[in-house]
């Protein structure tokens, strides 16, 4: 997976569906697409708080699978923060295939907290 932060709270992520992602001979497992969704939502949320030396964790996430992600598909997730309080961040995302067909949509709620609580330090 590769991502690009377009602006604070807005990211674009890409992932190619390979054999390791498959649940059937041709279609990705929903868990791989859900993990991709969580990553895009999480990085969008993280981009809001990282300068204040905080990280995020997922509180809840929902996803709607609209079409299969097939072997060889290049998926693009477009995620954006829609609400950011002191600790709680809400983001939405859509995942498209290389033909610009909507594969999945979803949203997530994230908790922002000091990086030290995650065992991280600033260097």
Domain boundaries of the chain, sorted by first residue: 2-117
Q: What is the mean pLDDT of residues 23-48?
A: 98
Name the residue among 54, 102, 38, 58 with its Cα closest to residue 76.
Answer: 102
Q: Is 90 exceeded by the pLDDT of residue 1?
A: no
Give pLDDT, residue 68. 98
CATH superfamily of 2-117: Hotdog Thioesterase (3.10.129.10)
DSSP 3-state assignment of 48?
A: helix
Distance CA 48, CA 7 (A): 9
Q: What is the pLDDT of residue 121?
A: 86
**Does 22 score more than 90 pLDDT?**
yes
Lowest mean pLDDT among 62-66, 107-111, 116-120: 116-120
Q: What is the mean pLDDT of the chain?
A: 96
Task: Using DSSP bridges, classify how beta strands 10-16 and 88-96 pair: parallel, antiparallel or unpaired.
Answer: unpaired
């Amino acid at each position: 997976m590769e991502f690009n932060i377009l602006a604070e709270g807005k990211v674009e992520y890409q992932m190619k569906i390979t054999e390791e992602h498959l649940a059937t001979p041709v279609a990705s497992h929903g868990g791989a697409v859900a993990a991709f969704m969580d990553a895009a939502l999480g990085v969008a949320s993280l981009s809001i708080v990282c300068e204040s030396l905080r990280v995020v964790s997922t509180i809840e996430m929902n996803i709607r699978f609209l079409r299969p992600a097939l072997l060889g598909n290049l998926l693009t997730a477009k995620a954006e923060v829609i609400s950011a309080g002191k600790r709680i961040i809400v983001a939405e995302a859509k995942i498209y295939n290389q033909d610009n067909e909507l594969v999945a949509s979803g949203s997530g709620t994230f908790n922002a907290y000091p990086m030290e609580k995650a065992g991280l330090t600033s260097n």
